[in-house]
Amino acid sequence: MANAKRTAGSPKNGPAVKRTRREDREWSPFQASKFSQRVCNPIRSIVDTIKRPEKTTKEMIPLSLGDPTVFGNFPPSDVLVQTIVANVNSGKCNGYAHSAGTPAARAAIAARYTSKESPLTPADIVIASGCSGALDLAINGLLNPGQNLLVPQPGFSLYQTLAEAHGMSVRHYRLLPEHSWQADLKDMESLIDDDTGAILVNNPSNPCGSVFALDHLKAISALAARHRLPIIADEIYGNMSFDGHSFHSLGTVSLEAPVLVCGGLAKEFLVPGWRVGWVCVHDRNGLFEDVRKGLFRLSQMILGANSLVQSVIPTLLSPNEGSKEQRSLRLFQKKTMTQLQSNAMFTVQELQDVEGLRVVRPQGAMYVMVGIEVDVFEGFDNDMSFCQQLLEEESVFVLPGKCFGAPNFFRIVFTAPREKLALAYARIKGFCERRRK
């Protein structure tokens, strides 16, 4: 009887519609699921509209990808390479790990990021597949469909992709180029309503290359606390700040509002393809007890991150005090940051006097945003056409600000070797000169 009801296939109270049995049906193309249809990374659709030049004699210089391994001039540390080779050879890192990460890796992450203000234990750490996986956990662990997430503009588009796929929405708060890309707190506050689930803060910033000062972070955390909101802090570029711009983690700054700090190995250790990241739960007064449990449950959905890569985390994040690994890692970090800072300063020096461009001086990470005064030029009227024509005429690929919600800016990734940067900047200067009114 129950079966007969089901096979009738008729709308409730409507006439019975006879359906063919599955066995009698023809194959027909399957539809992608509704969930997959909601997944959209705006960067992809923008970048796909940019046409690559078909015939060009000029060598292509891509300054578009936030991947420091592209040119081979930012190698990973010897300690990292030797440790992973030894761990492969040990044959002990081939099995499944706990879905939230191996105990040793979680202990090392907790040891590295714990502080007097915000003590962490391994129970506060959930390891994920890259910082992207960590952000996915954080957003889904905190928000419900129908809620909104405050995100920076300009900002990394993945936040929107993740939120919208799960039926949440994003509201963009402005970052102010004239104030070194600090957040417009009035704007941020005006966006908050009863359905706001969290404030997402990305510091140091992709695409801006900015590093928030301590006072500014305090102001953001006070704002969050006033509205009883938690913070999701994307700190994948944590510790990658230049001289005079100290990095402070919101995990230690925000003393009232609880924070989920997302981080990972990708950028600091120059291995974005290794895909290991983490969430650190900085609870305040037990406010996140249930959220912590939720994050652990979510980690079971894909049974955790790569166990081999997790095996290097103890050596990388908490090497023995005074060990040769510790010394070597310090040298590696110093060398990487010196090289990045020097490339950043070179970029400013080369482009700051170009009439019609406005370089916002970077303070960390590996990016700089350059404003385009479109009225000064002819032949293009926005960042998309600027980048398209620069690519066609000069084979220099930079991403239009539209990818990050920043019209009339473009983003440069300054990790290329110095001679390639010099060539790219000479071509940008030549292009601007030719196009100036």
Ligand X SMILES: Cc1ncc(COP(=O)(O)O)c(C=O)c1O
Looking at this protein, which amino acid is placed at residue 109?
A: I
Task: Candidates 43, 63, 66, 351: give the one binding ligand X (CB under 6 A).
Answer: 66
CB 367 within 8 A of CB 413: yes
> Binding pattern to ligand X, positions 142-181, x when CB under 6 A?
--------------x-------------------------
Sign of CA dihedral 301, 85, 83, 341: negative
Cα separation, 189 vs 212, whole angstroms: 18
Cα 120 to Cα 124: distance, rounded to the nearest angstrom: 6
Instruction: Tell whether residue 401 is a contact of ligand X (CB under 6 A).
Output: no
Rounded least distance, CB 333 to ligand X, Å: 18
| Chain centroid to CA 182 | 18
Evaluate whether 142 touches 260 at the Cβ level (below 8 Å).
Answer: yes
Asked if residue 182 lies in contact with residue 175, where contact means CB atoms within 8 angstroms, the answer is yes
Least Å distance, CB 305 to ligand X, is 10
Cα 397 to Cα 50: distance, rounded to the nearest angstrom: 10
62 binds ligand X (CB under 6 A): no
Q: Can you give the C-alpha Rg of the chain in angstroms?
A: 24
Binding of ligand X by 234 (CB under 6 A): yes
The residue number whose beta carbon is nearest to ligand X equals: 130
Q: Across the chain, which distance is largest between two alpha carbons, in Å?
A: 81
CB of 349 to ligand X, least distance (A): 25
405 binds ligand X, rule: CB under 6 A: no
Q: For residue 39, what are its two tokens?
A: 């997944």
Closest separation between CB of residue 139 and ligand X, Å?
A: 12
Residue 367 or 431 with smaller CB distance to ligand X: 367
CB 150 within 8 A of CB 188: yes
Give yes or no for residue 101 binding ligand X (CB under 6 A): no
- Among residues 152, 277, 362, 405, the one that binds ligand X under rule CB under 6 A: 277
Residue 333: Cβ within 10 Å count: 15
Per the CB < 8 A criterion, the answer to whether 207 and 156 are in contact is: yes
DSSP 418: H
Residue 264 CB, shortest distance to ligand X, in Å, is: 4
**Does residue 268 belong to the site contacting ligand X (CB under 6 A)?**
no
User: Which is closer to ligand X, CB of 41 or CB of 326?
Assistant: 41
Q: Which is nearer to ligand X, 305 or 357 (CB)?
A: 305
Q: Is residue 240 within the footprint of ligand X (CB under 6 A)?
A: no
Which residues have a Cβ under 8 Å from the Cβ of 421 and sit 6 or more positions away?
A: 63, 343, 346, 347, 350, 414
| Of 161 and 206, CB closest to ligand X | 206
The site string for ligand X over 183-212 (x = CB under 6 A, - otherwise) reads: -------------------x---x------
Q: Which residues pair with 174 in a beta bridge?
A: 153
Smallest separation (angstroms) from ligand X to the CB of 158: 6
Sheet holding 367-372, edge to edge: 357-360, 367-372, 409-413, 399-400
In the complex, minimum distance from the CB of residue 249 to ligand X, in angstroms, rounded to a whole number: 15
Binding map of ligand X across residues 244-263, x = CB under 6 A, - = no contact: --------------------
Asked if residues 347 and 412 have their Cβ atoms less than 8 Å apart, the reply is yes
Which of 208, 224, 233, 266 contacts ligand X by CB under 6 A?
266
CB closer to ligand X out of 236 and 291: 236
Binding-site member from 238, 264, 364, 401 for ligand X (CB under 6 A): 264
**Helix/strand/coil for 368:** strand
User: With the C-alpha atoms ordered 181, 196, 405, 174, is the resulting torsion angle positive or negative?
Assistant: negative
Q: How far is the CB of 267 from ligand X (least distance, A)?
A: 7
Looking at the Cβ atoms of 206 and 395, the one nearer to ligand X is 206
Strand bridging mode 182-183 / 169-176: antiparallel
Residues 329-368 that bind ligand X (CB under 6 A): none
In the shown chain, the binding pattern of residues 102 to 141 toward ligand X, with x for contact by CB under 6 A and - for none, equals ----------------------------xxx---------
299 neighbors 126 (Cβ within 8 angstroms)? yes
Closest contact distance (angstroms) between CB of 67 and ligand X is 8
Binding site for ligand X (CB under 6 A): 66, 130-132, 156, 202, 206, 234, 236, 264, 266, 272, 277
